[in-house]
Amino acid sequence: DTGVSQDPRHKITKRGQNVTFRCDPISEHNRLYWYRQTLGQGPEFLTYFQNEAQLEKSRLLSDRFSAERPKGSFSTLEIQRTEQGDSAMYLCASSQKTGAYGYTFGSGTRLTVV
Amino acid sequence: AQSVTQLGSHVSVSEGALVLLRCNYSSSVPPYLFWYVQYPNQGLQLLLKYTTGATLVKGINGFEAEFKKSETSFHLTKPSAHMSDAAEYFCAVSVGNQFYFGTGTSLTVIP
């Protein structure tokens, strides 16, 4: 078990470009979460998958954002037509069963939009 | 509605001194409570959690926290600060399928 892996660790992109991030959760965890963290703030919930089903989406997840977990294993988060306000750390987490178990977080992908 | 308030965005302590990081929550249902630590450019690492049972919970690296329902608090403490404790600390409440995080407290340890 290598924990939750996120790729890439850092991404610099020009405004208007599309970016895609990948998250590989802990293999036996059926729940996967995406969070966004801006400087000086705590993580904010974006979306949640149970297996391949996307069960919840935050209002923060605008139409430019899309997340998938096609086979219930890894997940991708795509941002289309990036804006400077999208610059943040994007964190992925996974868990077993309910939130009582806590989440295991990846190291995050830091996105900078220039 | 669920929310988490961390009092003090920055806390400084001397090495060897007591660490106290404050967290208050509001929840419409009995919550699960967590403390996470984040080092620069890293993800969040679970320090400890309260789900049910004993209200004083012990975590990694000598940290502990006490759930006080009457005060809706879950303060984090460590008897003696170490230089390696310098990091950002987040309190979180889990309700249903979501975690709600506080805005974090940055801990500085002065040698």
Distances (CA, A) of A41 to A15, A38, A71, A73: 23, 6, 32, 29
Taking 60 as the threshold, does the pLDDT of residue A1 lie above it?
no
Taking 90 as the threshold, does the pLDDT of residue A67 lie above it?
yes
The DSSP bridge pattern shows strands B64-68 and B56-58 to be: antiparallel
CB atoms within 10 A of CB A81: 11
Query: Which chain A residues are closer than 8 Å to B10 by Cβ?
Result: none
Query: Which of A5-14, A97-106, B30-39, B59-68 comes out lowest in average pLDDT?
Result: A97-106
Cβ contact (<8 Å) for B45 and A105? Answer: yes
Q: Which chain A residue shows the shortest CA-CA distance from B33?
A: A100
**What's the rounded Cα separation, in Å, for the pair B84 and B111?**
11
Considering only the beta carbons, identify the residue of B4, B44, B51 that sits closest to A105: B44
Taking 60 as the threshold, does the pLDDT of residue B15 lie above it?
yes
Interface residue of A10, A23, A29, A45 to substitute, partner B, most B CBs within 10 Å: A45
Q: Read off the pLDDT of each residue in A80-85 and give the average, rounded to a whole number.
A: 96
Interface residue of A2, A33, A103, A110 to substitute, partner B, most B CBs within 10 Å: A103
A11 and chain B: CB distance < 8 Å anywhere?
Answer: no
